[in-house]
Amino acid sequence: MLILKNYLLRAYRDKTTIIMMLIFPCVLIAIMTFVANSNAEGTYHIIEGYNRFATSNLLMNVLLFQFLSGLYLTDFMYADFRSDMRWRLLAAPASLGKYVFNACIANVIIALVNSAVILVFGYFVLDAHLSNFIMVAAPLFTFALFLTLLGMLLFMLIPKKSTTTALFFALAFGQILPFQFGLLTITGGTLGFGNFLPIVAALNAIEYASNIRFGFADGSFYTASADMRGALIHLGILAGYTLIAALAVIIVGRKKPI
């Protein structure tokens, strides 16, 4: 528990965490929603008291910033195992495996806590719609596991932290920006090509379980019965990515031990 506490304190004592991963996403979502509301005609973007723009902006950005939360693990690993700190850890009573395990658990907790703060802000302040809290929590937890495993995999494969950081940003914005600006649309129903991107799979797992949906393909906002089959399919896609990442970490870890 002391090792886990140490990693958590390292993250939240850093002003960057508070400013860039908590305050900035909330401010960004609020500004995007305010601008969209100002340009909207009438109240078509409001259904049952929930705001269409707040909902779409919230879900997209919470997943984007959760993806970037995977960088916490790489920060921990490069600082502790690619520097002189490694020799101090070797002399510590705890094994290196315990440090790695607790760093991974800390990364999952940080990703979930950051996401929860942003979701609470969007739900209570901006009137975003989140109807099925279980199906919000399940994709976010699975996504956090996937990002942690991805961070570990990149750490084991790439010697330089700067390269790993750049790759993380490229993977995050490479999924969000084409989708956000209409260069990639979700077509073909539940199994359309775009749905197989990890961020989109997480997004759709949340979206399909809701009774008020934002139609990302055509910009609609409508009520519908929750499609739990569709939600579970997308959650399964995300779980598949997580399983593949776990197997990759095991295989690479055996060949390139930390």
- pLDDT tens for 189-208 read 444 556 678 988 898 888 88
Lookup: tokens for 102: 């607790």
- Cα–Cα distance for residue pair 75/70, rounded to 1 Å: 9
Residue 114 · residue 66 · CB < 8 Å:
yes
Whether the pLDDT of residue 161 is over 90: the answer is yes
Residue 85: its pLDDT value, please?
78
Lookup: tokens for 136: 């919000």
Mean pLDDT calculated for residue range 213-232: 67
Closest CA to 115 of 232, 18, 21, 16: 21
Mean pLDDT calculated for residue range 213-226: 59
Residue 188: its pLDDT value, please?
39
Whether the pLDDT of residue 221 is over 70: the answer is no
Residue 194: its pLDDT value, please?
63
Whether the pLDDT of residue 139 is over 50: the answer is yes
The pLDDT mean for the chain works out to 85
Whether the pLDDT of residue 209 is over 90: the answer is no
Lookup: tokens for 89: 């850890």
Residue 217: its pLDDT value, please?
46
What is the maximum span of the chain, computed from C-alpha positions, in angstroms?
66
Q: What percent of the chain has pLDDT over 70?
A: 85
Whether the pLDDT of residue 53 is over 80: the answer is yes
* pTM for the model: 0.88
Mean pLDDT calculated for residue range 176-188: 55
Mean pLDDT calculated for residue range 7-18: 93
